[in-house]
Structure 1
Amino acid sequence: MTTPDEPRGREFLTKVRPEAMTHLLAFFKESGKHLEPKTRMLISVVTKTINYSPRGLKQYIKRAMEEGASKDEVLDAILCAYPCAGLTKVCDAATVFLDMGLGEGAGAVAPAAASKDWNELDGASKIADGDMRRFTIDGVPLCVSRHGGKLSAISDVCPHRGGSLSDGECEAGVVTCPLHGWQFNAKDGTSAGIGGGGAKPYEVREAGGKAEVRIPAK
């Protein structure tokens, strides 16, 4: 355990055993020269936890954070000492961490980033039951319709000859292409009897007068 008298002891040994201390300090300096400063400081936090040196912990926690370590990275370093230090020393080191006033905000879960896949369908909430409209989101043409009060979206491009489905007819949940009469279920884009292919469906959600469609990121 490191004591407040360590600097005095080191100075004494350097004076009476200069050659030995020079080699020891050189070894310490060289042993981590390929590590970035933050990593070296965090390793020192691990060793000071194992040896349980409150003074050393405060020193290297401070230096680690000065080198860019976050509070959570410091806590991870303390926890990494567990196999050698045991639970008591790890908890004691955590107490030092708290005594340094670092407890607030540590371990906080960052809010999940909003998914960029969801895109607003401006005005889609005004689509009446049985009607449909064409939207283009991120270059993707969509045929958006409402049936039974629920919005649905499928590709606006007919897989037959590329006709715009939103220019066709929509009746009883079936969209009919204006070019050759191919039909698709508005809900999921599957074939509705005439034609041999399907139109790609897209997930839609609606709440509070706002409608959004999910276009997976490319």
Structure 2
Amino acid sequence: MRLILFDIDGTLLWTDGAGRRAIHRALLDEMGTAGPIDGYRFDGKTDPQIVRELLTLAGHSESDSDDRVAAVCRRYVDLLSAELAKPTQATKLYPGITDLLAALEPHESGGRALVGLLTGNVQDGAALKLRSSGLDPARFAVGAFGSDSHRRADLPAVAAKRAAERTGRRFTGADIVIIGDTPDDVACARPMGARTIAVATGFYDTAALRAAGATHVFENLGDTQAVLTALFA
């Protein structure tokens, strides 16, 4: 059985900057500063990591406070909900996502795959983004989130543990496939020996993703059969 773990932003969907706007405002509301956010890259990072790093760059005295970071993340979720509800909001799924998820259903029902999430989003934020795109969060059987750890490298083990609890079997090495759009998605797979499918629908091109060591690289996930072949190779 394959444990197939999808990243969200840049891989499944695009929220047109809603998350960035919400974190910016949450930092201002809770901490009085968003640091050098205009030149700061979010991709590949967890939400708590983003908050910590921006506060550190701003020289804020509470950048290492778990309680204060959690408060910013809670405020962020409230603001994200408002951003995604705006009439002008344009969340969209990337090419091929609907078809790929549908094509995985027979593999799931046949016991050949368990499909989940591995994302830097806090869990409540992940659910909001998925619903905004038309995806039901319950479509994904398991997940590991930025709310589980601010270190992305910790998340594959979290997802594998939850998958084991759900199925009664252990997932290791090539049993696990992580699908993402950044070198950080690729890097987090290495400690467990997981395979990776990198997709250039985010801010990294195929050359950068190959250089990061991804097992397979695609421009997008629109070729359903090719992606399935890579997943079950």
TM-score (norm 2): 0.25
The structure with the largest alpha-carbon Rg is: 1
TM-score (norm 1): 0.26
More helix by share: 2
